Structure 1
């Protein structure tokens, strides 16, 4: 068993990133921290290290308990770290908006602009 593993490989192997390329890009962009410091893709991860991975949805804070060189299934990957992440934010249930009755015809210019504003699109 190795003494340390590259940060990008470990993040990918324990399924915190979907692909190795995404893990490498996250390291280069500064979204991965090992032992509190910004990690390059080649930064070594050792057992007991705290790894923080920031994704577009949330921040994952994990402590490495096992080193992996290859990507494994979800269950073995979950055993390779202890998760100390805060719970994910609750998703607000948004009802259907901008729904028109069937057969109501083409929306007017005013209705189309209102729908665009609801959907967060800039009006033309």
Structure 2
């Protein structure tokens, strides 16, 4: 048996032509754990080709994913597969974010920044009376 030392394995190995979406999201460093990736998929925060999917869905190179994390929504195209979680520079090679997605994220971040700078965000936590007033207001709005 011949063992070659120092050989590198590419991100797309012949053994891993398809991989589960939760494992890929974890390896690409979108989520810290596979459990967190599973929770996001089950909660509808990850869409495969524009549709909700299950955790066991297999992905391949060229597939399009939409991932919502906090205020941001990223649309990425899978460019590589890996079953192992590696460093961030290597994980970044597994996907490519679409230009439209980048532009939308920047625009939404700018909008949030303007709203917060304009003082539309509350400057304090509501006290008991203000919470009651908010509750009454919301009840009147529901028909």
Asked if TM exceeds 0.5, the reply is yes
Structure 2 regions of 5+ residues with no counterpart?
A: 1-12, 129-143
- What does 1:41-120 correspond to in 2, within 5 Å? 41-84=55-98, 85-86=101-102, 87-88=105-106, 89-90=109-110, 92=113, 118-119=123-124
Distance 2:89 2:58 in 1: 24
Which runs of 4 or more aligned residues in structure 1 lie more than 4 Å from their structure 2 counterparts after TM superposition? none
Q: Secondary structure at the match of 2:47?
A: strand
In the aligned structure 2, how far is the partner of 1:26 from the partner of 1:59? 13
Q: For each residue in 1:1-34, what CA deviation from the matched residue of structure 2 results, as whole angstroms up to 9, or x when unmatched?
A: 2121111111111011122111010011111111
CA distance in 1 between partners of 2:94 and 2:123 (Å): 44
Q: What is the deviation of 1:40? A: 0.9
Distance 1:30 1:62 in 2: 16
Equivalent position of 1:108 in the other structure: none
Residue in 1 that maps onto 2:27: 13
Match of 1:30 in 2: 44
Distance 1:64 1:10 in 2: 9
Match in the other structure for 1:111: none
Unaligned stretches of 5+ residues in structure 1: 96-116
TM-score using structure 2 length: 0.65
**Which one has the bigger helix percentage?**
2
